[in-house]
Amino acid sequence: MTRTVLQLFDLKGKTALVTGGSRGLGLQLAHALGEAGARIMLTSRKAADLEEATAQLQGAGIDARWVAADCADEADIVRLVDETLQRMGDIDILVNNAGAAWGAPAEDHPVSAWDKVMNLNIRGYFLLSQQVGKRSMIARKQGRIINLASIAGLGGNPPEMQTIAYNTSKGAVVNFTRALACEWGRYGITVNAICPGFFPSKMTRGTLENLGEDALISRAPLRRLGDDEDLKGITLLYASDAGKHITGQWLAVDGGVSIVTGG
């Protein structure tokens, strides 16, 4: 029998692991999945932040727990998957969101900063996907992987935004998404990416201050920045059976910034 729309979007009985989930976009994504019925395991580096975010989710009636881990560290990634499997069982949905940024002119960009951004923003995505795939999704022939990229990964930036490592890493996330989708489609695993534009957050605070919020808004056809609801719909589509025939894709959620010629 053909399911209804509400049935297709229902995540009851599913478990989601969300990295970088203690604030900002990661916490918004965790809310979306939890509001649809999924159990949530949050992770980031700081226990205090995770406790606060988990309490917020639980206050909204969501079954949420946390594990502190550094997703740039391979041993921590293995431990994170160990604890999630032990405490919550199989992982149905993986959200790779933990990320870092660094601003510096390309000619003076510290190599150590380049490595920090790359290790978290793309190497960490690969290592965690590998662990979750091998230990939970592949054998069961099912799973949803959602990678947070960025419109910064779709091209260059205005000259005043000197974030070459971040842009490069997010471009890598887009093609990592495509490549993994091709390999793991035979296992019933979908792999998709979200490319947000500017959302107010701790990571974007410096950019918003330097360039000016009004200037950034003026570049967007919708004349607004992203808010605490704008990623929920695409997250739920990618995570649920409503999106079961979508894989290897990315979608910009940016108020139209990425479609503006020369934008």
Give catalytic residues, as residue numbers.
166
CA 25 to chain CA mean position, Å:
8
CB 221 within 8 A of CB 166: no
Longest dimension (CA), the chain: 60
Q: Where are the alpha helices (DSSP H) in 152-194?
A: 164-184
Question: Tokens 């160990």 label which residue?
Answer: 82
Residue 140 to residue 165: CA distance in whole angstroms: 36
Q: Do β-strands 250-253 and 39-44 pair in parallel, antiparallel, or remain unpaired?
A: unpaired
Q: Checking DSSP bridges between strand 39-44 and strand 64-68, what pairing results, if any?
A: parallel
Q: Which residue has the tokens 């790779």?
A: 96
Cα end-to-end distance, the chain, whole Å? 46
Locate 130 and state its tokens: 């590998």
For tokens 């999630």, name the residue.
84
Q: Is 69 in contact with 45 (CB distance < 8 Å)?
A: yes
Nearest C-alpha neighbor of 235 from the set 14, 71, 83: 14
